[in-house]
Every structure is written in C-alpha cells, then in structure tokens.
Structure 1
Amino acid sequence: MSKEAEEAIEEANSLSDEEFLQRLIHPSPESSWPEWTHPQTGATYHLRLTRTEALTEKEVDDCLALVQQTSGDAYRASANGWRPGAKRREMRTAGLRYVLVRGDRHHGPLVGFVSMMLTWEAGEAVVYCYEIHLEALLRGSGLGTMLMGFVASVARRTPHVAKVMLTCFTSNSRARAFYSRLGYGVDASSPRETRELRGGRTVGSQYVILSLVVD
C-alpha cells in the first residue's frame, strides 16, 4: 500500500457523516436525497447516512431483523449457521457507514439498508460492501441499484481506491444476477466455486467474492 493511498483512506474515514455524504456519495442536484419515491406505488421513503457508532440499539435490532428476514435461510444452510450475536458484533465494526431506508423520517419501519467500509484487501484500497438488504416488496424497484450506486460513488470519489468488493452466498442466485447486471465479476481472491477432493468427490464453496473495478 502506498502512503498516499493510506492517507486518502484515513482522511475519508475521518469525515463526518455530512462531509462523507457531500464529498463521496455526492447526491446530484437533481437527486431527491434524503427522500426516495417508489416508481410504481408513489410511496416516499427516507434515507439517512450514519456511521456505525451513531446507530442506536433499536436500529441495530431493526437491521439484524431484516438480515434474518432476507438471508436467514442462507446463513442457516452455511457451515457457520445463523449466529445473531456474531452478526450484531460485525454490524458494530468501527469504520462502517450505513444508509438506512425508512418508511418515514423518524419512526417508520426499516425497509432496507446498505453498509460499507473504506478499507484494505490484499494491499489494495477498496470499498467493501458488507451488507445490502431490502424488504421483498422493494426488490426490483430500483432502490437496490441506487444504494449500490452510492457505494460505487464512494469508491470512485476516494483517491487511490481500486474497486468495490463484496461477499455473496453462492446459493443466492438472485443476488448474483443483480450484481452481474451492475458489472460485478468474480474477484481473483474468491475461493473456487467447486474443488475436487481426494477420491474425485467435488465440493462447492458456500460464498463467492465479487468486485467492481472503478474508473
């Protein structure tokens, strides 16, 4: 890692949420931030950027419940299983930033979120997308594409950042197709999706690492 890249990551991670929003997510003048309107139903949702340290326990509970609702089966089918305590601790990892989506500004239900971190992977400066989860009724609405666009914007606007990375269950074909449409491919660091054991038996990896190279 270069000194310049290290300094760029440190500076970006030191930004306040408002500075991070304006400089790195950078909503366009035409953007309706902090609101988003469902193109089919006309319902309005509220967006909020926050660092993990500012999340309330209720917000962590809501995020955890949404993860379990959308991905609980995949976790339970994995080797590590569904471990809510470990997931809660991961959600509190220092340096994470969240964009929360609610039904209204303060008290509406949490219907989606994305979390990301500027960090290092194999000596490269990257934005790692930890989670993106939406209620089922919001899938296909364009909200997920917008949230992932925010993540990519952070990568593009932070000097020396090479790419966005994320981990996806191999069993989640819907998510794989979504990321593929956004331009993500299998990263060189990803484990092989199938490997042959002694005796000729093959086993599959339970997850794949995907990445999007940014300009």
Structure 2
Amino acid sequence: MDPIDLANSKTLTQFAQEYLPPSKEWTAWTHPQTHAEFELVLQAPKQLAIADFDACFDLIELTSSQDYKNSKDGWKPRSKRKEMNLDDLKYILIKSAQGSVDGFLSFMPTYEDGYPVIYCYEIHLSPALQGTGLGTSLMQMLDFVAAKVPGTAKIMLTCFTCNERGMKFYDHLGYSKDEYSPLPKMLRNGTKVEEEYAILSKVLMDLSRYQNTGQSLPPSSYHQ
C-alpha cells in the first residue's frame, strides 16, 4: 500500500504507536513559567467533542481571523469549519488540567503537487502558551511523523506574509518558500508586492526522484 494511504488508514491508536514518539515523550507538557500541566491528545475530526472542536475554531478566530479579514478572500467561518473536518486530518490537542483546549496542531499525510508530504494545516496557541517553546515542540513532532512515513518529500504549510512573527518562526525551524509558492507581483513602477500568503516547506529528500503527477490540493490555511 502507498505509504501515505497506509498512514491515513491507521486508527488513532495505531497512528500514535507507529508515527509519533513514545507516549511518555509527548503526551504531557509543563508550562516553563507557571508550571501548569497540560495533556496532549491525538484526535481525528469525527472523534472531537463539539466543545473541543469549537475551542479549536475559537483559537483560529482569536489568532488569525484579522489576517483573513484583511485578505482579499476575507474571513469565512463556514469554510474554515468545513476544512477543519477533512477526513484524514489529525489533531494534537493541548488540554489544561481543567479540560479546556488551549492550543492545537492539525496536520495530514497527503500529496501536494505530486509530492508525498506532511501538510500542517493549523498550529494555534492561546496567548498564555505562546513564546514557551511549545510551538517548536509541536512542529518537531511533524519532523518525527515525516521520518516515519517512507518517502515523505516535504513538510508543508501556508502562512500569511503579513504575519511576520509566524514567518520568522518557520524560518527558524528550517522552512523556506516552496517552489509552488505564489511569486511577488511587479508593479509598473518596479515595486515588488508580496502575495498575501506564502507556501512554505522543509524539503526532506531529493525532489528530482519524484515526477509531478498533477495531484494537488488547494492552499489549506494561514497559520498563526
């Protein structure tokens, strides 16, 4: 079976066992300043409790809705909720001791422009969890998943170019503009205007070994 299809065919328990670090290394996290303890849980859209799904949506709205509103496509809550329910998405929820969702990562093993990739759809943290190193730890989990899915060519995501903090964050983690990222527009006066979003990737293998099959997904999301 194709490695991407195989990964997506796994139950959550199987996926955690086969594609994530040992549970003792990732299922618990302690805030470095407040020492509050959090649980990390792997979930799929269909298994998400309504309250948890709504909490994830609220985090997107809190951290990114203004960037959407400032874009030409605008903020479309219904479309975002539909995207959050894609069948093969995986969620890692960050849950407080009180059971609230204070952050999450969502991703999918898939094909993008013919390449087998791990696509990061969303990563959002509440203000209290930002700047703690948790975001870096979550992104490193994608590195682990990519290493476990044979043949993975890239880890990919999209980010609003106006999100300078996010762009710097991903640059620090080794991401750069993907070959399929929209090019800046050149105005008649010679001014270069960046597109509203960039497709970023971390290339993991020699891409010349892959042939572009024409398979492609639309840009997924613009992260905090």
Equivalent in 44, 47, 70 of residue 54 of structure 1: 47
User: 2:14 — aligned with what?
Assistant: 19
Counterpart CA distance in 1 for 2:48 and 2:158 is 23
**Offset of 1:18 from its aligned partner?**
1.4
Equivalent residue of 1:189, what SS? coil
- Gap runs ≥5 in structure 2: 206-224
Q: Does 1:207 align with 2:197?
A: yes
Give a deviation string over 1:88-141, Cα, whole Å, max 9, x none: 00000110000000112xx52211000000100111100000000001121111
Is 1:67 the counterpart of 2:57 in the alignment? Answer: no
- Where structure 1 has 5 or more consecutive residues not aligned to the other structure, the ranges are 1-5
Contact 2:38–2:96 at 8 Å: present in 1 too? yes
1:3 paired residue number: none
How much has 1:198 moved relative to structure 2?
A: 5.2
Counterpart contact for 2:52–2:100, Cα < 8 Å: no
User: For the residues of structure 2 that align with 1:171 and 1:214, how far apart are their CA atoms?
Assistant: 27
Q: TM-score, normalised by structure 2?
A: 0.86
8 Å Cα contact 2:45-2:84 kept in structure 1: yes
Deviates more, 1:68-77 or 1:194-203: 194-203
Q: Does 1:90 align with 2:83?
A: yes
Provide the C-alpha distance between the structure 2 equivalents of 1:203 and 1:142, rounded to a whole number of angstroms. Answer: 32
Q: Is the contact made by 2:187 and 2:193 (CA closer than 8 Å) also made in structure 1?
A: yes
Q: Distance in 1 between matches of 2:193 and 2:156?
A: 24
Cα distance, 1:27 vs structure 2: 3.0
Q: Percent identity?
A: 44
Alignment: residue pair count: 205
Give the match for residue 148 of structure 1: 139
TM-score (normalised: structure 1): 0.90
Aligned CA RMSD, in angstroms, stands at 1.6
Secondary structure (helix, strand or coil) at the match of 1:40 reads coil
- Report whether the alignment pairs 1:195 with 2:185: yes
Contact 2:3 2:150 in 1 (8 A): yes
Give the ranges of 4+ consecutive aligned residues of structure 1 lying more than 6 Å apart after TM superposition. Answer: none
User: Whole-Å Cα distance in 2 between the matches of residues 42 and 214 of structure 1?
Assistant: 35
